[in-house]
Amino acid sequence: MTNALTRLLTTKDTLLADGATGTNLFAMGLQSGDAPELWNADAPEKITALYQGAVDAGSDLFLTNTFGGTAARLKLHEAQNRVGELNRLGAEIGREVADKSGREVVVAGSVGPTGEIFEPVGTFSHAEAVEMFHEQADALKAGGADVLWLETISAPEEFRAAADGFALADMPWCGTMSFDTAGRTMMGVTSSDLAQLVETLPNPPIAFGANCGTGASDILRTVLGFVAQGTERPIISKGNAGIPKYVDGHIHYDGTPELMGQYAGMARDAGARIVGGCCGTMPEHLRHMRAILDQGTRGAPPTLDQITAALGPFTSASDGTGDEAVPERRMRRRRRA
Ligand SMILES: [Zn+2]
């Protein structure tokens, strides 16, 4: 099994992933509510600049601008019949940027949630989901993506369906969930649940982990939770640059480049082998992260106290894995929604 990501993981201890797609595109003029994927066709020079920003900052891999590229998501913009075109273009632009970088850079085909609610709570069937992910995966593969990159997932059903769709496309993949609800995903999945889930898949990911969620401190606690399960699979940490705050009508992330540099070093020490940023992470953050990763080698895992001292307080008392109350009420409300 030779793909660019597996090759890089055998030669480097820690890989630097990329930063935010949304935050960077908003800075280039994307309006809230627009489908960023349309820019793969309408403004390819901006997508080239997005990818180039990560590569120039030293990223070993970057995600394509195809997060909302399933038919279910493109349908919100009446573009459900353009899945093949928009995903292929997103990957093709990435392939071009990676190939002229002069080093091995992985093009990871981003796949986000469909937004559909799965059976039995909702009406979305496993078979429908698999076909939707398969369609997107085929297009990303056609455009030259090295691997697929499932991200921001909260439901185990969706994670499983994507894995099956990717198997049909015969593509290696990575997958992360967003632990944004007191240490759990919106659907109640904990770090230990995900570490166990990936080992039950017929087509397991090359690497798995967490992205987005809340702040840099919380995601490190989640990484320690994966490690506690004894997993030997490479772990991914793509945390937000600080905690989102609503300022003057837009979302602002207050994490400085220096803070994200510290986060990167601690994520590596906590056990992550692929470290990147999510919302709010710009090229200047990535440059600091690159510098810290290049300076040192993997150290002892940080304690919870060391994490909060360096990166700020956790947003919830625990990581959700203990015996304490499952957010029962929240779960019921979301099921009904
Ligand atoms: Zn994010």
| Model pLDDT for residues 17-44, shown as the tens digit of each residue | 999 999 999 999 999 899 999 999 999 9
CA of 42 to the centre of ligand 1 (A): 24
How many Cβ atoms sit within 10 Å of the Cβ of residue 156?
18
d(CA 211, ligand 1 centre) in Å: 7
CA 228–ligand 1 middle distance (angstroms): 24
CA 127 to ligand 1 centroid distance, Å: 28
**pLDDT score, position 247:** 79
Kindly give the distance from the C-alpha atom of residue 280 to the centroid of ligand 1, in angstroms, as a whole number.
7
pLDDT number for residue 1: 58
194-247 pLDDT, tens digit per residue, is 999 999 999 999 999 999 998 899 999 999 999 999 999 999 999 999 887 887
Q: What is the DSSP letter of 271?
A: T
**Which position has the token pair 């075109």?**
85
CATH number of 4-330: 3.20.20.330
For ligand 1, the distance from its centroid to the CA atom of residue 47, given in whole angstroms, is 18
- Residue-level pLDDT at 334: 42
Which residues have C-beta under 5 Å from ligand 1, the single-atom ion?
212, 278-279
Backbone angles phi, psi at 289, to 5 degrees: -65, -45
Query: How close is the Cα of 277 to the center of ligand 1, in Å?
Result: 8
Which positions of the chain have pLDDT values less than 50?
325-337
114 CA distance to ligand 1 centroid (A)? 16
* CA 212 / ligand 1 centre spacing (Å): 4
| Cα 279 to middle of ligand 1, angstroms | 4
> In this predicted structure, what is the pLDDT of residue 322?
74
Using the mean position of ligand 1's atoms as its centre, give its distance from the Cα of residue 176 in Å: 11
Helices 83-99, 44-56: crossing angle, 10 deg rounding: 40
* Separation of CA 286 and ligand 1 centre (Å): 15
How big is the CA angle at 193 (ends 188 and 194), to the nearest 5 degrees? 100
Tell me how far the alpha carbon of residue 1 lies from the centroid of ligand 1, in angstroms: 30
Instruction: List the domain boundaries for the chain.
Output: 4-330
Non-local (6+) Cβ contacts of 249 within 8 A are: none
The Cα 297–Cα 117 span in angstroms is 43
